[in-house]
Amino acid sequence: MTIAMIGATGLVGRQLWPLLQGRQDVLVLGRRPSGAPLEKLGTMEEWPGLLRGERIDTAVSTLGSTRKAAGSWAAFEAVDRHAVLAFAEAARAAGARHFLLVSSSGADAHSRNAYLRLKGEVEEAVAALGFERVDLLRPGLLLGQRSDRRLAEGAGQAVAPLLGLLLRGPLDRYAPIDAGQVAKGMAALAGRREPGVYRHHNREIRALAH
């Protein structure tokens, strides 16, 4: 049985796949090489077909963009909704019992904010696919060195120490968190057998990472 993954070249994903590789074979689906030993490349639309014939136990998505980086809302939705859900459906068809998804703090299918509403809707759609276990990670602002330029997130990282001081207690879930901690938290969750849908915010993610 294999772990299938999308988003392996991103901020969390490129730190996650080496952690998973030591336990099981990790099959990375992507548009460009990630360095993973087992990899299939193609367009996002081709990813579901690349899973045909595979036996998957666990599926992981660290895929994500922003409206600005994608260039339009339609392009953003193609990544964060359609590509993620098509992968999840294909992984479930390939036998996956466990799905792990990097979502966002504040994700809510009923939010007035379009970004948070989309994230919440994707969470609900994944949970409805019939996986035995779903882990939804909802980190705050991700800290780390990105390969692409996201000016708004770069500004956020510059003030991250101040935000960390201000966002305490119940607001901690919105505080900045290092992408490496999210990767370690996901690695700790991979392979867990307890059924159900679990949501993990910053505090839970940090605990898992240690």
Chain segment 57-106, per-residue pLDDT in tens = 999 999 999 889 999 999 999 999 999 999 999 999 999 999 999 999 99
pLDDT at 7 over 80: yes
Residue 157 lies in a domain: no
CA atoms within 13 A on the CB side of 124: 10
**pLDDT at residue number 149:** 53
Mean pLDDT, all residues of the chain: 91
Q: What share of the chain is helix, strand, coil (3-state, %, to 5)?
A: 45, 20, 35
Q: Quick check: is 113 in a domain? A: yes
Whether 40 is in a domain gets the answer yes
Q: Which structure tokens are listed for 173?
A: 């879930």
Q: Which residue among 68, 119, 174, 198 is the active-site one? A: 119
pLDDT at 156: 47
* Active-site hit among 40, 115, 174, 184: 115
Query: DSSP letter at 199?
Result: E
Give the number of domains in the chain: 1
Residue 39 pLDDT exceeds 70: yes
The verdict on residue 203 lying in a domain is yes
Percentage with pLDDT > 90 across the chain: 80
51 falls within a domain = yes
Give the pLDDT score at 173: 84
Inform me whether the pLDDT recorded for 162 exceeds 80: no
- Assess whether pLDDT exceeds 60 at residue 194: yes
What residues make up the domain containing 194? 2-141+179-209
CATH of the domain at 42: 3.40.50.720
Instruction: Note the pLDDT of residue 161.
Output: 54
**What integer is the mean pLDDT of 147-168?**
51
Q: Which one, of 60, 66, 65, lies nearest residue 47 by Cα?
A: 60
CA distance 127 to 62: 16
pLDDT above 80 (res 179): yes
Active site residue 68: no
Q: Is residue 155 part of a domain?
A: no
**How many CA atoms does the CB half-sphere of 201 hold within 13 Å?**
11
Residue 85 lies in a domain: yes
Residue 8 in any domain: the answer is: yes
